[in-house]
Amino acid sequence: MAVSFRRPIVALMVLLLGACASPPPRLAAPPPPPVLDSDSACLKDLRDMHVAFEPQAPFGQPGSCSVANPVKVSQGGQMGMNRPGVMSCTMARSVERFEQQVVQPLARKILGQPIARLQHMGTYDCRARRTEAAKASTGGESGSKGGRLSEHGKGQAIDIGGFELVDGSVISVKKDWRNAGKKSEFLQQLARASCEHFTVVLTPNHNRLHNDHLHLDIGPHRLCGM
């Protein structure tokens, strides 16, 4: 009886001694440094580039018009805008990098002065793609019915109608694209270089629907419509 009673006590003491001898349980590993998700990293990039913008609430549903990380941009880091434009943060970052790496250096090189203001004709816009076929079938109301969703409907596109220089003169895609001279040279070189920053670039050379603007987007397709 006594033996069978003592053995569990001995065993318990051994266990307790073992527990005391073992190193104290490890403290939980310190939490990893906060990792910026892509959205907040993008917003930080915009701030770092001195873009004037307001973050917007995400809207829409995937598959239809929607923007997951929209921002309303009112001014680029190095040039103004004729009016604010809503676009995805990723697109705003692409536009700003394009501005800093292509637009301003080219303007200084070819035109001898920087661009003061971007004249855009649209950013976010919930509509179908504009094609010549769609235009014919809707009697001119292009992009209003059916068809594949435009990258504008995802906040991934911008239409650029022209630029205003610091001396007030204007470079217009509609008026200057086909002319000889420095304004045309600027637009042509700018469009060519924009293919490095955007996946789709459509110019007046692409079709008549782009007669008066450059369409730049960061969608899944690839086309340098020079």
**In the complex, which residues of this chain contact Zn ion (CB under 5 A)?**
157, 159, 215
Instruction: Quote the least distance from Cβ 185 to Zn ion, whole Å.
Output: 23
Task: Name residue 206's amino acid.
Answer: H
Question: Smallest distance, Å, CB 76 to Zn ion?
Answer: 18
CA gap 153, 179 in Å, rounded:
32
User: By Cβ distance, which residue is nearest to Zn ion?
Assistant: 215
Nearer to Zn ion, 70 or 155 (CB): 155
Q: Which pairing describes strands 200-202 and 115-122: parallel, antiparallel, or unpaired?
A: unpaired
Question: In the complex, what is the shortest distance from the CB of residue 182 to Zn ion, in angstroms, rounded to a whole number?
Answer: 26
DSSP-derived 3-state class of residue 94: helix
Q: Which is nearer to Zn ion, 115 or 157 (CB)?
A: 157
Cα 123 from Cα 214, distance rounded (Å): 12
Q: How far apart are CA 136 and CA 119, in angstroms?
A: 28
Nearer Cβ to Zn ion (32/140) = 140
Least separation in angstroms between residue 223's CB and Zn ion is 12
Specify the residue, 154 or 215, whose C-beta has the smaller distance to Zn ion: 215
Distance between CA atoms of residues 9 and 155, nearest Å: 73
